[in-house]
Structure formats: structure tokens, C-alpha cells
Amino acid sequence: MAAPYDRDERVAQVADVVRRMTRALSTRDAEVVAGLLTDDVVYHFPGSNPMSGTYRGRDEVMAFFRRFPTRLDGPPTIETHDVLASEAHGADLSQLEAERGGRRHTWRAIRIYHLAEDRISEVFVTIEDQAAFDAFLSD
């Protein structure tokens, strides 16, 4: 009996969505980012800093992405090291760097994406040294 879909094809589709998202975040292409999110997307940003929290819905998530660089001297640079994927989830392993108040900070992050069809419905962010990141991003 044939599977309802080709597993390898589905994994490739999930990986493609994650790669498009990381590329759009890197180039700050808000239109592409918004198009990759479901209407009811949930974005979990960790820590104890002014950006920490759970953002619900495309509008809140896009507002988060617009607001995040305002906490910095400019948008962070993002270098994606790898993309991992399964049939329903994807992840990107990235290194980010930014300046704030003349101080430079580099951090590594993992974003785990849950997909509904071909769009992102939930994102969980994990930052390697959360305490150092919180100190960098806080007043």
C-alpha cells in the first residue's frame, strides 16, 4: 500500500521552507517572512529581556521582527550553519552578531519550526548563553 505522501519529498519541502525563512530573515525580506507564516503562528522568544515572550498571530510576530532591530545599533547579521528537517518540523542552527551601545555580541541560536502544510505555525527559539544574551539586550 502506498503512503499518502512521499516521506523524502515532504522532508525536502520542510527543509526548503526553513531555508527560505532563514534567507528572508538574513536579508530582512518582511514580505517573504510574512508569507511563510500561518495566520495563527506562535513565536516563543526566550529569556528575561525586553523582547522575551510568546507572540501570537502573524501581526504580533511581524511586529516582533520589526521591533527587535530597534533594540540594537542595527540589524543583526545571521549566518546559518545548518538546516535540519523531518516530516513536520525543521530547525536552523545559526550564529548571530549585533552591536548595541557600541558593544558587539555574538550568539548561537536554534530555531525549531513546526509546519502546517507548507507554512510555519510555531517557532521555538533557544539561545546558547541566555544570561549573556539577556544582559546584552537589556537596559
Q: Are 42 and 54 in contact (CB under 8 A)?
A: yes
Domains along the sequence of the chain with CATH = 7-137 (3.10.450.50)
Task: Identify the pLDDT of residue 1.
Answer: 40
Give bridge partners of residue 122 from the DSSP assignment. Answer: 42, 114
Task: Identify the pLDDT of residue 2.
Answer: 45
- Give the phi and the psi of residue 9 in degrees, each rounded to 5: -65, -40
Count CA within 13 A, CB hemisphere, residue 63.
10
Indicate the Cα dihedral angle 35, 36, 38, 44, nearest 10°: -120
pLDDT per residue of the chain (139 residues) written in tens, 0 to 9: 445 568 899 999 999 999 999 999 999 999 999 999 999 999 999 999 999 999 999 999 999 999 999 999 988 999 999 999 999 999 999 999 999 999 999 999 999 999 998 999 999 999 999 999 999 999 7
Task: Identify the pLDDT of residue 6.
Answer: 84
